[in-house]
Amino acid sequence: MKKKLIIAIDGPSGAGKSTLSKALARQLDYLNIDTGAMYRSVALLAQQWGINPHDDAALKKLCTGLSINFVYNDGLGKVLANGVDVSEQIRTPDISLLTAQVAASPSVRDAMLRMQREMGTGGGVVLEGRDIGTVVFPYADIKFFLSATAEARGQRRYAELLSQGVAIDLQQTIADVAARDAADTARTLAPLMQADDAVLVDSTQLSIDEVLKKMLAVVKDKETELAAKRE
């Protein structure tokens, strides 16, 4: 029987992590864990509870006994926080902003780290985030660092927002992407960073299918390598 792997996908926002980790998990019949959605859920609850995002003690309380689950219905993935479907509410621009603040809290990071390790330790998972290959699973079987230029990522985000009927400015969107990168990279705790042993995939000039093909080839090589070791 094939070993069920732990696959980490890290990288900046807009590089295609969500689409690719979902596609990879589907192909491999693995569980997809969107760790950004977990931080977003904490931010949403903090907003609902009226917690100051810099109040680490209050955030710690919020995280005590918190449950976050990923469920799949008719092929659609949903995020449940304390049993409530928050999939849509966590995607608003103000929750994105609040999440960046909440994600800097040591208590929140500690709670998310424990949950993510609990969910992923058995293998058969694709986890996407910023610190999976460096902090959460430094011994992941495969680590990908998915990137693209800030310009390309900004353009994708711009096209996505336009298709949703949101009127925005392209240059402003590129500047927002660059500002988010700077915040994620400059953070003291678990900053966005490529692990030394991560496979770098630059998606600037590639389609989703081309990136997925590259990733699947890496997974296949790893499975062959592990099978040969077991023989």
Choose, by CB under 6 A, the member of 21, 32, 35, 107 that binds ligand DC.
Answer: 35
Closest distance of CB 12 from ligand DC, Å: 9
Q: How far apart, in whole angstroms, are the C-alpha atoms of residue 94 and residue 225?
A: 45
- Cβ neighbours for 19, distance < 8 A, ≥ 6 positions apart: 208
CB of 35 to ligand DC, least distance (A): 4
Measure the CA–CA gap between 138 and 171, rounded to whole angstroms: 36
Q: Which of residues 9-28 bind ligand DC (CB under 6 A)?
A: 13
Q: Kindly write out the interface string for residues 48-87 of this chain, putting x where it contacts ligand DC by CB under 6 A and - elsewhere.
A: ----------------------------------------
d(CA 30, CA 114): 20
157 binds ligand DC (CB under 6 A): no
Residue 231 token pair: 């023989």
**Closest CA relative to residue 120, chosen from 134, 132, 111, 110:** 132
Site for ligand DC in 84-103 (CB under 6 A): 99-100, 103
For the CB of residue 43, give the shortest distance to ligand DC in the complex, in Å: 8
Distance between CA atoms of 176 and 74, rounded to whole angstroms?
Answer: 34
State which of residues 9, 137, 152, 184 lies at the interface with ligand DC (CB under 6 A).
Answer: 184
Assigned token pair, 33: 């864990």
Beta strands 84-85 and 6-10 are unpaired
129 lies in the site for ligand DC, by CB under 6 A: yes
| Other CB atoms within 10 A of residue 144 CB | 30
Alpha helices in 92-166 (DSSP H): 93-102, 106-120, 150-163
Query: Token pair for residue 166?
Result: 């949101």
Residue 153 near ligand DC by CB under 6 A: no
Comparison of 5 and 41: residue with beta carbon closer to ligand DC: 41
CB of 126 to ligand DC, least distance (A): 13
Q: Which residue has the tokens 């209050």?
A: 58
State which residue, 39 or 145, has the beta carbon closest to ligand DC.
39
**Using the rule CB under 6 A, which residue among 36, 53, 120, 154 binds ligand DC?**
36
Under the criterion CB under 6 A, does residue 134 sit at the interface with ligand DC?
Answer: no
176 binds ligand DC, rule: CB under 6 A: no
- Which spans of this chain sit near ligand DC (rule: CB under 6 A)? 13, 35-36, 39-40, 99-100, 103, 129-131, 184
